[in-house]
Structure 1
Amino acid sequence: MSVTGAGTLDVPDSALADTLLDRLTAAYGAAADPERAGPMRAYMKDVSPFLGLTTPVRRALSRTVLEGTPRPDEADCTAVALRCWRLPEREYQYFAVDYLRRHAGRCSSAFLPVTRHLVSTIPWWDTVDLLAAHVVGALVAADRKLAADMDAWSADQDLWIARTALLHQLRYKEHTDADRLFAYCLRQSAHPDFFIRKAIGWALREYAKTDPAAVRDFLVREKGCFAPLSVREALKNIGA
């Protein structure tokens, strides 16, 4: 698999990030399980090394790491995320994603370039999808001017950036901008990659929970434009 990068971003000074990273690397490192690490790396298509921490173990360790720490500001969130992204093992990126999901409301629209860096650096669905739905989506919901950035992302040559644009409205329900969603799906309808075709179907399927008629009518109107995978996913819960 190919791994794209997005250059480097400056890590802001953050005493909170210093504390968290010291605690995090000590806790995760002590609990590493090399026997599990190999199969986990293989399952994720060798995107990065793993420490071998199962999800329940990792979350329990994370709670210990976070115990007693204050709420972060945007600079803290940026520092924690970027420093975790520079560590080799994937579990550190999982910690950063969970941290950003919890504190997305503490970040302004100026945080969007940081999310783009995270999405396009060491990219795989395990981090990209959560960042799209819970962090990018939250930023755009809080500042609708960022929809213009999503318009640009939806046509990006980096498939993970385009996938993020497709999925950023997953949690919007009745607040979904259906015209934008449908436009993004059409824009990428001929994309050859599985992850884009799957994202199209997933985004439409999720919106179909709110407005099934709109999704069905859209697919009828644009019949023949989408890969069978996208259509199957979109109609999974509402029928043909």
Structure 2
Amino acid sequence: MNLQETTVWVGDLLPAPPRITTRRVNQGFPEFTVADVAVGGAGEDGAVGGAGEDGAVGGAGEDGAVGGASPAPADAQPAETVAVTLDAARIDPGLVTDDGSDLRVELITVTSGHSRAAADLVTAAATMIAQDPHQRPPRPGLILPDLGWHVDEKMTAKHGLLVPPFLWEDGVPHVHEVDFGGRHGGGGHHDWTHPGRMTVVAQLVMLTDAEFATATGQGLGAVQRQLTEAEVNLNDVWR
């Protein structure tokens, strides 16, 4: 899919019309296009924090706050920000599906509060993957150590982990494109059809140092049990 097609697809997955921005972790790193939506709560203007003047990602405000939201009624939905990449699928990690389709991945995350952290985190994750996609293929179980450091040095859940998305009840969102002219196109003179390209969404969650130690020392099953038993709010990256 091109950027316009991906934007339409992702827009249908999000709870409200998103804001679209182009971001990068710093000068000299690749740019990524990100859609983000503020949901729940009530900020001063309901807006999500943006990138800096140079498009670089950043962290909390001068007082260390990450939201700036006004108090909400007790029964209101918690203030959260959802962010998803729109062009991380341009990264070719060499992954294939069972039927031989090229597998590409967009990244989504949710953070507590109305802030720029969610958009900055998926940008940083896409950047880290792009640096060596064959060593860091974007599939469930990939750990991205110290990812949060690129966003906010005060972030306590600073290690990234990719998991199958748990935001939708009907499974992992995906789009399967088939090229009837063969893998590289070229018209109808081919008498075969490449299985095509599958684009899916992977969810980024953030782990604290203790959770990261469990994941790397005892495995992902152990950290999943730890998080479940403690009823950890994975969206709170400053927990």
- The normalised TM-score by structure 1 is 0.25
Q: Which has the higher strand share?
A: 2
The higher-RCO structure (CA 8 Å, 6+ apart) is: 2
Q: Which has the higher helix share?
A: 1
- The normalised TM-score by structure 2 is 0.26
